[in-house]
Structure 1
Amino acid sequence: MNNPGKPPALHGISGSAPGLSLDLNAPAQGNVGDRKSRLRLSFGKSEAADKTEPSISMMKTSISLPLQIQSLEDIGFSTQLDRLQCRSLQNTGKLQLSPEIVYEFTADDLEDLGEIGRGNYGSVNKMMHRKSGTIMAVKRILSSIDDREQKELIELALVMRSTHCDNIIRFYGAVFKEGDCWICMELMETSLDKFYKYLFGTLQSSFPEEILGQIALATLNALNYLKSQLNIIHRDVKPSNILLNRRGNIKLCDFGISGRLIDSIARTNVGCRPYMAPERIDPTKSQESYDVRTDVWSFGITMMELALGEFPYPIQEWDNVFKQLSQVVEGEPPRLSRDSHPQFSDDFIHFCNICLMKEVSRRPKYKDLMVHKFIVAAQEAKTDVEAYVEPIFAKMDVDRFPENFPVTS
């Protein structure tokens, strides 16, 4: 994993009461655990049946991650912010396109090229920064969020702007316009859920195992970076949150800058695919016991779905949410085998199956997966993903920034 830079210094983890107390006289510190639990910066497009939006509610417990963010003073925080000041906060912001290229900008410096997604909390538009010509995705969070959340959004954008991981969506900056918060992010071409459905459905094809290896490697790199460098657990790993472009870049998104994200199943309807680990659904399990292995389960479901071209659970047999949850908690997990799936190698089969161990203590963590034979082979192979995806993108008849760019709220 390429990690040339160093993220904001993170110091110990401690318990915290719900809510956010932001001392603006302190050296740019804040309770990221609380901030993160309530906000999502989203890219992956929802399933058609997934129409109910998540409830952005505070969790009963949270973690505190004091951050040192040198840039905070650059965005206009004063020592005493009142409600009126907050509404006008960040009318002028900093757009950091690279470590060397930084622009002062306002929302008026962005040319709107059309909406590419919408949710209850706002929209995502394709926009161009006029001075640089940079095309980007801009998530516009409606002014219905409160003042504290607006301040949190700015801090979150700054945290992620300092992130240096090739497999995580880049954040350029944030600005306010008429109370709405505009968050500027890297624009990718499609998500893996759209890509694999076209691949399996229209082209009647499938991913070569070496491409699955590169997808697994990129996703693991991103998840491991979030946890090891920012102490973030994703909690919403699925194909729609893994993005792809013509150049073969594979990037993770929709991690909400959160250590305690909204549960995927909280917004489910019948027909929605539950990627959550059994221990997250089971009400007898304590949330305090969750760790990265919850993401490992979701990652295993994701990899199996991409390999098979369909969700590994029998969605067609579910006619209510209870059956969905019961299947995950009480039923046997999906399994690959040489008998039923002879097209896959033993290493890939073993890799997927160990990710889907129902007993958490037997499920591997990232450090274990990174040394698995399947991942080591992917690291050594240096497969040209661009050469594989470019002809498929050409057949999909999409330009570099298509209107169907995947977005969820």
Structure 2
Amino acid sequence: MAIPVPIRLLLLALATLASLPRSGAQTNVTLGTSLPAAAGAAWPSPSGRFAFGFYATGGGLAVGVWLATSPNVTVTWTAGGGNDTPANGGELQLSEDGRLLWTGADGQYRSLAAPPQPALSAAMRDDGSFVLYDADGAVVWSTFEFPTDTLVPGQDLVPGAHLFSSVSPTNRAAGKFRLANQLNDENLVLYPVQTENAAHAAYWDTATFQIGFPLTLRLDATGVLYLTGNGGNYTKNLTRPGAALSPAETQVFYRVTLDPDGVLRLYRHAVASGDAWTTDVQLIGPSDRCHVKGTCGPNSYCVLDRDAQPSCLCPPGFEFIDAANGALGCTRTSGAGDCEAGLSMATIQNMSWADTSYAVLGAATSAADCQAACMADCLCAAMLLNSKDGTCTTQQLPLMYGRTGGGYTLFVKITSVSPAIGGGGRGHRVGRTTIVVVVCTGLLACVSLAALLAAALLFWANRRTFAEQDAAEALDEEAPLRSYSYQELEHATCGFREPLGRGAFGTVFRGTLLHNSSEKTIAVKRLDKVVEEGEVEFQREVRAIGRTSHRNLVRLLGFCHEGANRLLVYEYMSNGSLAERLFRSGGGDGPPAWGERMGIALDVARGLHYLHDELDSRVIHCDVKPQNILMDASGTAKIADFGLAKLLLPDQTRTFTGVRGTRGYMAPEWYRGVGPLTVKADVYSYGVVLLEIVTCRRSMELEEAGEERTLMECAHEWLVRGEVTRAVGCQDEAPEVERAVKVAVWCAQAEPQARPAMRSVILMLEGLVE
């Protein structure tokens, strides 16, 4: 006789409960069990030392794991990485379909855990992990797999994983700093958030880079934080064992936390009889809080007060963005970086700043020569002079990660203080000539202002019909990323029926989504190699362009990160790639006209300038080529495909040589493995692309035809012989053609330091500077 389905499920549940491990893993949550939302409401571990449930935070409640210290609990894990909006009411529930949900009073829910297979039960364990079990008693989900800002004994930070600091002790949302266990070079490094893994942004590391095998960060029960790898044959201790239990202490707990101030600390929590708790702190790094990059914002520098607490100051010519919050950084009050009259250089000695220069004067440069070079350069905002070797480097804004100490002298371009009218000291009378000049200047200013107002009114009358449309487009540009379900994207692409192209990691499909009551055409990239390369590309794409709305970058609208599915949703580019426009073979409309081609060249230059100089952290695209430049319906060129985008430490370049980038566009220092990867690698690639735009010829076509030279080498010969316009065949635009070829050749110089910054490229192509 067949057993009814409900009875079979009951027997299966009972068998599961009987088979689950009992050692610190007692199951106390079964399907359908709920926990009403209230501060302190929790499912405790068997000993009661750990709990999983609701705790109070700014603006409401959050869900997490905490150690029951006294007088306040110590949160060790927060659902959603702390980024879920605090809420009130509802209940926490292990749903009948095996998911962990926070269901609100209105019936809406947020998923806190969606295991790859349905859970049958759950438990808060004494090791500090909250886990979900399947029908066989195997763990299918654990808080240990998704660390936030803390590690406890038994919890690993695996290769490729991060810890993120919280905003503050009372706000558990992801804060300003991160600890990265780097996959590519086996180093454990502290960075500010929203930066790539770049040397100029790192402020503490374990010095384990490139040892040849991945490392895992682990904390043991005695308080030793250590790195291990190579099957346990390699171990590096980062802390010493903690103090032994005193006679008054009954138990001790350790945790390692990346604190809101960006410092990694080891905490020892001991409990004595009577449940009295004590906490001791051991600093891991860094010891000087001004060494934490990001403590002070852009264009400001950090100093320590008498209590070794950091505070932020502005250089001469700058003022705080917010006087009440100096950590936000400074903004300039002078014309630094302009070519106006009345500029001078202010000096601050014994400083340290991130060196993100676009030009290097070389060693043994005097202070006077260093300042003179900046005064002669309209793009220069500041200079850094290394007191050890006299190397002088040219800087643009923003100046980043400043602090006192470090052996550098900073020269900042500022507006000089103008002398009082009439000269001399106080009480001098103003002469008649000066009065006449002032009155005439005032009248002229009034006339000019009236004309300007009239022009503005006329301009507004011509443009106001488009104001609502522009505002809607602006709001659309700033729309945040959306997380789509796989079913939504499968439906949007009609079952991934219309492929647009295929890359190394997956295929791009055309689709449509309902957007603002109308259909919006999208492009969906489905990544095939999701386990390794595809997952890395997915993460790079989201980090590189996930928060930008620049008009010259293809916009990322959303993504799907669900189970084994990795999909990226982009705005649809209806006019194909630049390669298709430039290198059409036979028939059709032919390549674009000269003016359109120069517009495309400027679009790409502006997109790269944004990536290199206008973000908090520089993004190196790493694969600039016509196939990765897409055209929208209005003819605007947009840079796409950030699957290779990454900033590398100087010692990491050999790791990726030969497997990143495209032949013919890669900078020589990269494919030869002889130097660090910088933004100048993109500048080199842009130079090649610019020459292709000018000539409508592929850069490698000569070499592929058997000739022992490239198109770039030919361009250099054309310039030397004065034959550029004849070789290119654009006689009517001779000055513009020669200028563009010169810029292309300059961008493709062999030495990275010799290549211009993208801002300079834009000015040169626009004819504003020679």
Task: Report the TM-score, using the length of structure 1 for normalisation.
Answer: 0.60
The one-letter code matched in structure 1 to 2:160 is: L
CA–CA separation in structure 2 for the residues paired with 1:376 and 1:206: 24
| 8 Å CA contact retained: 1:109, 1:131 | no
CA–CA separation in structure 2 for the residues paired with 1:370 and 1:98: 24
CA–CA separation in structure 1 for the residues paired with 2:179 and 2:703: 39
Q: Among residues 50, 66, 70, which one is paired with 2:192 in the alignment?
A: 66
Q: Among residues 625, 635, 638, which one is paired with 1:251 in the alignment?
A: 638
- Going from structure 1 to structure 2, the CA distance change for 1:317 and 1:155 (only over 3 Å counts) comes to closer
Q: Does 1:127 align with 2:506?
A: no
- Going from structure 1 to structure 2, the CA distance change for 1:165 and 1:102 (only over 3 Å counts) comes to closer
CA–CA separation in structure 2 for the residues paired with 1:233 and 1:363: 15
SS state at 1:298 partner = helix
Structure number with higher relative contact order (C-alpha < 8 Å, ≥ 6 residues apart):
1
Residue number in structure 2 paired with 1:99? 478
Aligned-residue identity in percent: 20
Residue number in structure 2 paired with 1:109? 488
User: What 5-or-longer segments of structure 1 have no aligned partner?
Assistant: 1-17, 36-57, 70-95, 379-409
SS state at 2:193 partner = coil
Residue number in structure 1 paired with 2:667? 277
Deviation string 1:339-398 (CA, Å, 9 cap, x unpaired) is: 5335243322322222222333322122321221x23479xxxxxxxxxxxxxxxxxxxx
Q: Does 1:22 align with 2:166?
A: no
CA–CA separation in structure 2 for the residues paired with 1:62 and 1:351: 40
| 8 Å CA contact retained: 1:233, 1:291 | yes
Say what the alpha-carbon RMSD is for the aligned residues. Answer: 4.0
- After the TM superposition, which of the residue ranges 151-160 and 133-142 deviates more from structure 2? 151-160
CA–CA separation in structure 2 for the residues paired with 1:201 and 1:31: 54
Residue number in structure 2 paired with 1:358? 750
Residue number in structure 2 paired with 1:182? 567
Structure with more strand by fraction: 2
The one-letter code matched in structure 1 to 2:586 is: G
CA–CA separation in structure 2 for the residues paired with 1:153 and 1:62: 22
CA–CA separation in structure 2 for the residues paired with 1:352 and 1:33: 39
The one-letter code matched in structure 2 to 1:107 is: Y
Q: Does 1:140 align with 2:548?
A: no
Q: Among residues 659, 665, 672, which one is paired with 1:266 in the alignment?
A: 659
The one-letter code matched in structure 2 to 1:195 is: R
Measured after TM superposition, the shift of residue 59 of structure 1 is 5.8
CA–CA separation in structure 1 for the residues paired with 2:554 and 2:531: 24
Measured after TM superposition, the shift of residue 154 of structure 1 is 5.7
What does 1:4-403 align with in structure 2 at a 5 Å threshold? 19-23=159-163, 26=166, 27=174, 30=178, 58=184, 66-67=192-193, 98-99=477-478, 105-110=484-489, 111-113=492-494, 114-130=498-514, 133-142=519-528, 144-145=530-531, 150=535, 153=538, 156-157=541-542, 160-189=545-574, 190-198=576-584, 201-203=586-588, 205-228=590-613, 229=615, 230-256=617-643, 257-260=645-648, 266=659, 273-283=663-673, 285-286=674-675, 288=676, 290-313=677-700, 314-318=702-706, 332=713, 334-335=715-716, 336=718, 337-341=724-728, 343=730, 344-345=734-735, 346-372=738-764, 374-376=765-767
User: What 5-or-longer segments of structure 2 have no aligned partner?
Assistant: 1-157, 167-173, 196-474, 719-723
Measured after TM superposition, the shift of residue 296 of structure 1 is 1.6
Measured after TM superposition, the shift of residue 317 of structure 1 is 3.6
| 8 Å CA contact retained: 2:180, 2:190 | yes
- Going from structure 1 to structure 2, the CA distance change for 1:353 and 1:103 (only over 3 Å counts) comes to closer
CA–CA separation in structure 1 for the residues paired with 2:679 and 2:179: 21
SS state at 1:340 partner = helix
The one-letter code matched in structure 1 to 2:766 is: I
| 8 Å CA contact retained: 2:577, 2:627 | yes
The one-letter code matched in structure 2 to 1:292 is: V
| 8 Å CA contact retained: 1:21, 1:30 | no
Residue number in structure 2 paired with 1:406? none
- Going from structure 1 to structure 2, the CA distance change for 1:267 and 1:129 (only over 3 Å counts) comes to same
SS state at 1:370 partner = helix
Equivalenced residue count is 297
Deviation string 1:213-261 (CA, Å, 9 cap, x unpaired) is: 2112111111111122141111211111111122112100123342259
- Going from structure 1 to structure 2, the CA distance change for 1:265 and 1:275 (only over 3 Å counts) comes to farther
SS state at 1:181 partner = strand
Measured after TM superposition, the shift of residue 25 of structure 1 is 6.2
- Going from structure 1 to structure 2, the CA distance change for 1:274 and 1:60 (only over 3 Å counts) comes to farther
CA–CA separation in structure 2 for the residues paired with 1:354 and 1:62: 38
Measured after TM superposition, the shift of residue 171 of structure 1 is 0.7
Measured after TM superposition, the shift of residue 168 of structure 1 is 0.4
SS state at 2:728 partner = coil
- Going from structure 1 to structure 2, the CA distance change for 1:264 and 1:68 (only over 3 Å counts) comes to closer
| 8 Å CA contact retained: 2:556, 2:571 | yes
CA–CA separation in structure 2 for the residues paired with 1:318 and 1:273: 16
- Going from structure 1 to structure 2, the CA distance change for 1:246 and 1:104 (only over 3 Å counts) comes to closer
The one-letter code matched in structure 2 to 1:354 is: W
| 8 Å CA contact retained: 2:528, 2:534 | no
- Going from structure 1 to structure 2, the CA distance change for 1:158 and 1:265 (only over 3 Å counts) comes to closer
Residue number in structure 1 paired with 2:280? none
Measured after TM superposition, the shift of residue 30 of structure 1 is 4.6
- Going from structure 1 to structure 2, the CA distance change for 1:308 and 1:117 (only over 3 Å counts) comes to same
SS state at 1:275 partner = coil
- Going from structure 1 to structure 2, the CA distance change for 1:370 and 1:266 (only over 3 Å counts) comes to same
CA–CA separation in structure 1 for the residues paired with 2:556 and 2:538: 12
CA–CA separation in structure 2 for the residues paired with 1:168 and 1:254: 10
- Going from structure 1 to structure 2, the CA distance change for 1:33 and 1:65 (only over 3 Å counts) comes to farther
For the pair shown, the structure with the greater C-alpha radius of gyration is 2
- Going from structure 1 to structure 2, the CA distance change for 1:248 and 1:34 (only over 3 Å counts) comes to farther
The one-letter code matched in structure 2 to 1:212 is: R
- Going from structure 1 to structure 2, the CA distance change for 1:222 and 1:63 (only over 3 Å counts) comes to farther
The one-letter code matched in structure 1 to 2:559 is: A
- Going from structure 1 to structure 2, the CA distance change for 1:238 and 1:32 (only over 3 Å counts) comes to farther
CA–CA separation in structure 2 for the residues paired with 1:184 and 1:205: 31
- Going from structure 1 to structure 2, the CA distance change for 1:360 and 1:61 (only over 3 Å counts) comes to farther
